[in-house]
Protein backbone atom coordinates (compact mmCIF):
# COMPACT_ATOMS: atom_id res chain seq x y z
CA UNK A 1 0.00 0.00 0.00
CA UNK A 2 1.37 3.34 -1.03
CA UNK A 3 1.29 6.28 1.40
CA UNK A 4 -0.37 9.26 -0.17
CA UNK A 5 0.87 12.64 1.06
CA UNK A 6 -2.00 15.14 1.55
CA UNK A 7 -1.06 18.78 1.82
CA UNK A 8 -3.43 21.57 2.79
CA UNK A 9 -2.93 24.78 0.87
CA UNK A 10 -3.45 28.33 2.14
CA UNK A 11 -7.09 28.24 1.06
CA UNK A 12 -7.89 25.00 2.85
CA UNK A 13 -7.92 22.84 -0.28
CA UNK A 14 -6.22 19.49 0.01
CA UNK A 15 -3.95 18.20 -2.68
CA UNK A 16 -2.73 14.65 -3.08
CA UNK A 17 0.87 13.61 -3.52
CA UNK A 18 2.32 16.98 -2.51
CA UNK A 19 0.67 18.89 -5.37
CA UNK A 20 -0.52 22.32 -4.37
CA UNK A 21 -2.89 24.91 -5.74
CA UNK A 22 0.13 26.59 -7.36
CA UNK A 23 0.23 24.46 -10.50
CA UNK A 24 1.92 21.37 -9.12
CA UNK A 25 4.97 23.14 -7.69
CA UNK A 26 7.62 21.05 -6.08
CA UNK A 27 7.72 20.59 -2.30
CA UNK A 28 10.92 22.67 -2.17
CA UNK A 29 9.19 25.55 -4.00
CA UNK A 30 6.18 25.30 -1.69
CA UNK A 31 8.45 25.43 1.39
CA UNK A 32 10.28 28.44 -0.01
CA UNK A 33 6.99 30.20 -0.81
CA UNK A 34 5.68 29.47 2.68
CA UNK A 35 8.93 30.77 4.21
CA UNK A 36 9.18 33.94 2.12
CA UNK A 37 5.52 35.02 1.92
CA UNK A 38 5.12 35.87 5.63
CA UNK A 39 8.37 37.83 5.58
CA UNK A 40 7.25 39.82 2.51
CA UNK A 41 3.84 40.45 4.07
CA UNK A 42 5.56 41.72 7.21
CA UNK A 43 7.87 43.95 5.16
CA UNK A 44 4.85 45.26 3.23
CA UNK A 45 3.07 46.15 6.48
CA UNK A 46 6.24 47.76 7.86
CA UNK A 47 6.58 49.98 4.77
CA UNK A 48 2.92 51.02 5.03
CA UNK A 49 3.46 51.89 8.69
CA UNK A 50 6.46 54.05 7.75
CA UNK A 51 4.41 55.76 5.02
CA UNK A 52 1.63 56.37 7.54
CA UNK A 53 4.07 57.92 10.02
CA UNK A 54 5.46 60.20 7.28
CA UNK A 55 1.92 61.27 6.32
CA UNK A 56 1.13 62.00 9.98
CA UNK A 57 4.32 64.05 10.41
CA UNK A 58 3.59 65.87 7.15
CA UNK A 59 0.05 66.70 8.28
CA UNK A 60 1.27 67.96 11.66
CA UNK A 61 4.00 70.09 10.06
CA UNK A 62 1.51 71.51 7.54
CA UNK A 63 -0.97 72.24 10.33
CA UNK A 64 1.73 74.03 12.33
CA UNK A 65 2.83 75.98 9.26
CA UNK A 66 -0.79 76.93 8.58
CA UNK A 67 -1.34 78.26 12.11
CA UNK A 68 1.96 80.18 12.17
CA UNK A 69 1.31 81.70 8.73
CA UNK A 70 -2.20 82.74 9.72
CA UNK A 71 -1.01 84.32 12.98
CA UNK A 72 1.72 86.19 11.09
CA UNK A 73 -0.85 87.48 8.61
CA UNK A 74 -2.97 88.78 11.51
CA UNK A 75 0.06 90.81 12.61
CA UNK A 76 0.17 92.46 9.20
CA UNK A 77 2.86 90.34 7.56
CA UNK A 78 0.73 89.06 4.66
CA UNK A 79 -0.05 90.44 1.25
CA UNK A 80 -3.74 90.80 0.49
CA UNK A 81 -4.79 91.53 4.05
CA UNK A 82 -7.17 89.62 6.25
CA UNK A 83 -9.40 88.16 3.48
CA UNK A 84 -6.41 86.57 1.78
CA UNK A 85 -5.19 85.26 5.13
CA UNK A 86 -8.51 83.53 5.82
CA UNK A 87 -8.64 82.08 2.31
CA UNK A 88 -5.11 80.75 2.69
CA UNK A 89 -6.01 79.31 6.10
CA UNK A 90 -9.02 77.42 4.73
CA UNK A 91 -7.06 76.22 1.70
CA UNK A 92 -4.20 74.94 3.86
CA UNK A 93 -6.56 73.26 6.34
CA UNK A 94 -8.23 71.44 3.45
CA UNK A 95 -4.79 70.26 2.37
CA UNK A 96 -4.23 68.89 5.89
CA UNK A 97 -7.59 67.09 5.61
CA UNK A 98 -6.51 65.56 2.29
CA UNK A 99 -3.28 64.30 3.87
CA UNK A 100 -5.25 62.84 6.77
CA UNK A 101 -7.63 61.05 4.37
CA UNK A 102 -4.64 59.50 2.62
CA UNK A 103 -3.38 58.45 6.06
CA UNK A 104 -6.80 56.94 6.77
CA UNK A 105 -6.44 54.93 3.54
CA UNK A 106 -3.03 53.65 4.65
CA UNK A 107 -4.45 52.70 8.06
CA UNK A 108 -7.35 50.92 6.38
CA UNK A 109 -4.90 48.93 4.27
CA UNK A 110 -2.85 47.97 7.34
CA UNK A 111 -5.91 46.96 9.38
CA UNK A 112 -7.91 45.20 6.68
CA UNK A 113 -5.20 44.08 4.28
CA UNK A 114 -6.83 45.89 1.37
CA UNK A 115 -7.74 49.31 0.13
CA UNK A 116 -11.20 50.83 0.04
CA UNK A 117 -12.64 53.15 -2.57
CA UNK A 118 -14.36 55.49 -0.10
CA UNK A 119 -11.27 57.35 1.17
CA UNK A 120 -10.22 58.12 -2.39
CA UNK A 121 -13.68 59.52 -3.11
CA UNK A 122 -13.45 61.71 -0.01
CA UNK A 123 -10.02 62.92 -1.11
CA UNK A 124 -11.44 63.79 -4.53
CA UNK A 125 -14.37 65.67 -2.99
CA UNK A 126 -12.12 67.65 -0.65
CA UNK A 127 -9.73 68.46 -3.52
CA UNK A 128 -12.56 69.67 -5.75
CA UNK A 129 -14.01 71.74 -2.89
CA UNK A 130 -10.57 73.19 -2.23
CA UNK A 131 -10.28 74.24 -5.88
CA UNK A 132 -13.76 75.78 -5.89
CA UNK A 133 -12.91 77.81 -2.78
CA UNK A 134 -9.60 78.91 -4.32
CA UNK A 135 -11.33 80.12 -7.49
CA UNK A 136 -13.98 81.95 -5.47
CA UNK A 137 -11.28 83.55 -3.37
CA UNK A 138 -9.29 84.65 -6.40
CA UNK A 139 -12.37 86.22 -7.90
CA UNK A 140 -13.41 88.01 -4.72
CA UNK A 141 -9.90 89.35 -4.15
CA UNK A 142 -9.65 90.55 -7.74
CA UNK A 143 -12.99 92.31 -7.17
CA UNK A 144 -11.63 94.02 -4.04
CA UNK A 145 -8.58 95.30 -5.89
CA UNK A 146 -10.81 96.52 -8.74
CA UNK A 147 -8.83 94.42 -11.19
CA UNK A 148 -11.06 93.46 -14.08
CA UNK A 149 -11.02 89.89 -15.27
CA UNK A 150 -10.60 89.39 -18.97
CA UNK A 151 -13.31 87.46 -20.77
CA UNK A 152 -10.86 84.59 -21.23
CA UNK A 153 -9.98 84.48 -17.49
CA UNK A 154 -13.64 84.59 -16.53
CA UNK A 155 -14.52 81.77 -18.94
CA UNK A 156 -11.61 79.66 -17.72
CA UNK A 157 -12.59 80.11 -14.08
CA UNK A 158 -16.26 79.38 -14.72
CA UNK A 159 -15.31 76.23 -16.65
CA UNK A 160 -13.04 75.18 -13.78
CA UNK A 161 -15.86 75.80 -11.28
CA UNK A 162 -18.32 73.80 -13.39
CA UNK A 163 -15.97 70.85 -13.79
CA UNK A 164 -15.18 70.74 -10.06
CA UNK A 165 -18.89 71.00 -9.19
CA UNK A 166 -19.58 68.09 -11.57
CA UNK A 167 -16.78 66.07 -9.96
CA UNK A 168 -18.33 66.62 -6.53
CA UNK A 169 -21.76 65.61 -7.84
CA UNK A 170 -20.35 62.43 -9.38
CA UNK A 171 -18.51 61.61 -6.16
CA UNK A 172 -21.75 62.03 -4.18
CA UNK A 173 -23.49 59.64 -6.59
CA UNK A 174 -20.62 57.14 -6.25
CA UNK A 175 -20.76 57.33 -2.44
CA UNK A 176 -24.53 56.82 -2.56
CA UNK A 177 -24.13 53.77 -4.81
CA UNK A 178 -21.47 52.33 -2.51
CA UNK A 179 -23.76 52.82 0.49
CA UNK A 180 -26.60 51.10 -1.36
CA UNK A 181 -24.34 48.18 -2.27
CA UNK A 182 -23.21 47.83 1.34
CA UNK A 183 -26.83 47.71 2.53
CA UNK A 184 -27.58 44.71 0.31
DSSP assignment string, 50-114: HHHHHHHHHHHHHHHHHHHHHHHHHTT-STTHHHHHHHHHHHHHHHHHHHHHHHHHHHHHHHHSS
User: In this structure, is residue 27 part of a structural domain?
Assistant: yes
User: In this structure, is residue 1 part of a structural domain?
Assistant: no
Using 50, 70 and 90 to split pLDDT, how confident is the model at 147? low
User: In this structure, is residue 75 part of a structural domain?
Assistant: yes
- The yes-or-no verdict on residue 113 having pLDDT over 80 is no
The average pLDDT across 123-135 equals 88
Q: What is the mean pLDDT of the chain?
A: 81
Least confident of 12-21, 39-48, 82-91, 104-113: 12-21
Domain that holds residue 96: 17-183
Domain count across the chain: 1
The average pLDDT across 87-100 equals 90
- The yes-or-no verdict on residue 143 having pLDDT over 70 is no
Amino acid sequence: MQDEHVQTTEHGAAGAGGASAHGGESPQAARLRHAVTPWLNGADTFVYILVGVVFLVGALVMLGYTVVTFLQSLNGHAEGGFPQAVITLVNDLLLVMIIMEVLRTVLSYIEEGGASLRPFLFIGAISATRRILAIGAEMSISGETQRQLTREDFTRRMTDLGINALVILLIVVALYLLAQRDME
